A and B are shown apart, each in its own frame.
Chain A
């Protein structure tokens, strides 16, 4: 892409210092997003997807977490070095985040209207009345019927899908340039998922927002993203466009993720009995003592001695398609 990315992560490193040792939750992760683009970050639980995005906003609880290296450039501004004051101005206003759990991410003691207008009052310094008006508008934008009434409603009176839409309204009410969506649809059922995704797409077209979409659902990735970053054990293992990734995954982990997705066709074929869903054996290794070589080595069916001893470099396997693997997968 010719223009400069709006957000660029370079070799970001975030460590957690615990009693068991140092956990490198984010280990030299780089990626970038352009305005109007959707980047999906994919991986299992505990791969460092959320920690990476929290590091961008400097929301890592310290202690035990700490950003120890690398840089985060937002429109050329180094976010790891700006003052707390400036960081607060950026949060919610320029970069905002939709959190995973819609029900628990809203304050149970506060009305919906008050919560949405908080951010508006904070960043634009407008009056409460104007903020409420804007909040009502935002609720309408996220398709909440009877927005005016719901301004005075409490979170426990709403369904999970409505809470998530309120969260989205909160996140977009200041017209952010970057929206980080941390598994925004995981807690919802499939029909509402579709609505939320559609809503985010519409908003992106309207505001030209860059979206970083964190998920473990490859179906959603195919649906909304242009580019994908696959993370494993705090490292980036593969990056490419969605099309290339699905056509020709270059890392065995990505292959594993894809075969673990149930496919309707397999069950509909008449001749063959539905095949058993394959899974990736084992679990993500503890981050305290990663293997010397590739972190995925113990779960990989292609592993060789080289994989066990040396870390694979993150290299361009084909134009626009990077992966960190010693083996030539899928070519």
Chain B
């Protein structure tokens, strides 16, 4: 017994509970200033989107033609557009639309992509070849062109825009997951699971997928920013959210005409778009460094 005690690395060390581990990992994550900044910004943007109708000083569709193109003032903090609508209110409501489209498209992409790519990588063989060739076909077309084509055929309504945006996410998630599964299924512990008689389905969901989580989490965060940008591009090109529903892309496009004498019409939605992209991309980078075991902090 004596030698046992010498061998055990941390005999007197207390094994932290699940919650304590999470808190500790979170603390390490936040100790990086950039991470704290990006997480704070993300939370701020989400809160703004959730409470937009209550924060917005004016109704977003209140038209006041005689009061158009006003520069920022106390009454209208970001000025008004050509129809005299309050830009701040429209930006706030627009953030709801952008964030929810981004979230829904990423969630659809995440679930279907992870399942398709995961099964394809785990079981391999002909199915894998088949699925991956299809994925490659989708990836050979530039994302924005495919989204444009789909919306042009199906019509620019919300469900179709989300569909157009999520198809590409499915292929991206499928590829990333497949790659991760291919490396995880070679691991000794997967063989050990077979050795104790576990079924394939159980091994796949309980042992293989959780070990692929890190790249998937990082991709989700980066994708969220990406989808929002693509949606704004679609709207900018007139194939996205239609008036009078506010969308950052549409607002930037409309303000484009007045950029020389009324820059606030497109600059403020552009600023919000920029901040959103910044927040999600920095968050993604931070998560990648944090979740990478070579970085030192294993969650």
Contact = CB atoms under 8 A, between A and B. Distances in A.
A122 interface: yes
Query: Considering the complex of A and B, which 3 residue pairs feature the smallest CB-CB distances, nearest first?
Result: A92-B196, A91-B197, A92-B197
Contacts of B207: 107, 110
Nearest to A88: B197
Contacts of A110: 206-207, 210
A88 to B, nearest CB: 4
Contact of A145 (B5, B189, B195): B5
A99 B14 CA distance: 28
B1 A107 contact: no
A118 B11 contact: no
Interface in A152-188: 152-153, 156-159, 161-162, 167, 170-171
Interface string B203-219: 00011001101000000
A40 B192 CA distance: 21
Interface string A138-151: 00000111100110
A167 B211 CA distance: 19
Contact of B10 (A59, A97, A157): A157
| Most chain A Cβ neighbours within 10 Å, of B3, B4, B202, B210 | B4
Nearest to A119: B196
Contacts of A106: 189, 192
Contacts of B259: none
Contacts of A13: none
A158 B8 CA distance: 7
A89 B15 contact: no
6 contacts: A59-B195, A119-B196, A149-B15, A150-B15, A162-B7, A191-B3
Contacts of B199: 88
Nearest to B196: A92
B191 interface: yes
Contacts of B15: 149-150, 152-153, 157
Contacts of B4: 143-145, 195
Interface in B9-26: 9-11, 14-15, 17-18
Q: For this complex, into which size category does the number of interface residues on chain B fall?
A: 20 to 34
A284 interface: no
A177 to B, nearest CB: 14
A96 interface: yes
A109 interface: yes
Interface of B: 1, 3-5, 7-11, 14-15, 17-18, 187-189, 191-199, 202, 206-207, 210-211, 213, 298
B195 A162 contact: no
B191 A59 contact: yes
Given A104-B188, A105-B188, A153-B15, A91 B10 contact: no
Contacts of B11: 145-146
Interface string A119-137: 1001100000000000000
Contact of A159 (B8, B18, B198): B8
A93 interface: yes
A97 B197 CA distance: 11
A29 to B, nearest CB: 20
A97 B191 CA distance: 10
A109 B213 CA distance: 10
A101 B195 CA distance: 14
Given A88-B197, A89-B197, A157-B15, A109 B211 contact: yes
A255 interface: no
Interface string A197-213: 00000000000000000
Given A105-B188, A158-B9, A152 B194 contact: no
Given A109-B210, A145-B8, A150-B15, A88 B191 contact: no
B211 A92 contact: no
A118 B196 CA distance: 9
Interface in A45-94: 57, 59, 87-93
Contacts of B213: 109
A101 B190 CA distance: 13
A62 to B, nearest CB: 11
A262 interface: no
A156 B298 contact: yes
* Most B C-beta atoms less than 10 A away, residue of A91, A96, A195: A91
A105 B192 contact: yes
A123 B4 CA distance: 30
B7 A105 contact: no
A257 interface: no
B151 to A, nearest CB: 40
B14 A149 contact: yes
A191 B4 CA distance: 10
Contact of A123 (B192, B195, B197): B197
Contacts of A153: 15
A118 B198 contact: yes
A99 B192 contact: yes
A293 interface: no
A92 B202 CA distance: 15
Contacts of A158: 8-9
B211 A108 contact: yes
Contacts of B193: 107, 118
Contacts of B7: 159, 161-162, 192, 195
Nearest to B192: A105
Contacts of A156: 298
Nearest to A149: B15
User: Which among B1, B191, B197 has the greatest number of chain A C-beta atoms within 10 A?
Assistant: B197
A144 B8 contact: yes
Contacts of B298: 108, 156
Contacts of A107: 189, 193, 207, 211
